[in-house]
């Protein structure tokens, strides 16, 4: 802390009514259901995907001869990021993950001196009920953001005001959002 550090002159935050905030969130959620809006935003995914958003239920993990059904949110952390990456590839979202990984660029200007060196494109938004196993496994993928259902806001769903982000919900997150509403 400096002796004569910079003083805050103006509060740039803007207060918004709760009803307006909910309306913005709901319209951003509605935009995630339109395949054309999601493609226009720049996301790349398999042509076979006709319905959005993608909803993850339980998944089956096969080890040798035995297979067990596991709740997607109770994810085993050992090798978890690779498993989540494989799940996204199987869903047809691999192109978008590759777009985010290869699209990382060095930021021009003074931001590089201020610890904002790289710009990473936004990829998949993963909405979970609790930020436990699956959230910890998915957060290491470049461009992937993970948010709890109760903390979901318009800025997560439409970064920079651009509607139509590629979104994946878990079944438990949908149930948590229905309870809240």
Q: pLDDT digit string (tens) for 81-129?
A: 888 998 999 999 999 999 999 999 999 999 999 999 999 999 999 999 9
Distance CA 34, CA 6 (A): 45
Q: What's the CA dihedral at 142, 80, 71, 127 to 10 degrees?
A: -20
* Average pLDDT over every residue of 25-29: 96
Predicted local distance difference test score (pLDDT) of residue 138: 92
Task: Supply the pLDDT for residue 6.
Answer: 84
> Could you tell me if residue 120 is inside a domain?
yes
Q: Is residue 2 part of a domain?
A: no
Residue 10 counted as domain residue: no
List beta partners, residue 143.
none
Distance CA 41, CA 143 (A): 14
Q: Residue 17 has what DSSP assignment?
A: -
Supply the mean pLDDT for the chain.
90
Give the span between the Cα atoms of 170 and 127, in whole angstroms.
6
Residue 1 forms part of a structural domain: no
Q: Can you give the residue range of the structural domain that contains 34?
A: 18-180
Residue 147 lies in a domain: yes
Task: State the sign of the Cα–Cα–Cα–Cα dihedral 112, 115, 118, 119.
Answer: negative
Closest CA to 167 of 77, 159, 114: 159
- Give the pLDDT mean for 9-28: 92
Whether 8 maps to a domain, the answer reads no
Which residues does 118 contact at the CB level (< 8 Å), separation at least 6? 104, 105, 106, 107
pLDDT digits (tens, 9 = 90+) for 138-180: 999 999 999 999 999 999 999 999 999 999 999 999 999 999 8
Cis peptide before 114 (omega within 30 of 0): no
Structural domains in the chain (count): 1
- Does residue 89 sit within a domain? yes
- CATH assignment of the domain containing 174: 3.40.1370.10
Residue 78: per-residue pLDDT? 72
Q: Is 70 exceeded by the pLDDT of residue 60? A: no
List the structure tokens of 51.
């319905």
Position 178 scores a pLDDT of 92
Residue 61 has pLDDT above 70, yes or no: no
Residue for token pair 């978008």? 96
Tell me the β-bridge partners of 160. none
Helical segments of 10-159, H only: 18-31, 35-40, 80-91, 94-102, 133-138, 154-157
With respect to residue 136, please indicate whether it lies within any of the assigned structural domains: yes
């Amino acid at each position: 802390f400096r002796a004569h550090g910079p003083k805050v002159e103006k509060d740039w935050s803007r207060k918004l009514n709760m009803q307006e905030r909910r309306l913005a969130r709901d319209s951003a959620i509605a935009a995630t259901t339109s395949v054309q809006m999601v493609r226009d935003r720049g996301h790349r995914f398999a042509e076979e995907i006709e319905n959005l958003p993608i909803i993850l239920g339980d998944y089956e993990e096969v080890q040798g001869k035995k297979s067990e059904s596991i709740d997607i949110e109770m994810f085993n952390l050992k090798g978890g990021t690779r498993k989540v990456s494989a799940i996204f590839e199987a869903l047809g979202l691999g192109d978008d993950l590759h777009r985010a990984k290869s699209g990382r660029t060095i930021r021009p200007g003074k931001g590089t001196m201020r610890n904002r060196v790289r710009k990473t494109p936004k990829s998949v938004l993963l909405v979970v009920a609790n930020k436990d196993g699956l959230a910890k496994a998915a957060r290491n993928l470049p461009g992937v953001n993970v948010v709890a259902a109760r903390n979901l806001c318009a800025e997560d769903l439409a970064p920079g005001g651009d509607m139509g982000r590629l979104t994946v919900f878990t079944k438990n997150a949908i149930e948590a959002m229905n309870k809240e509403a």
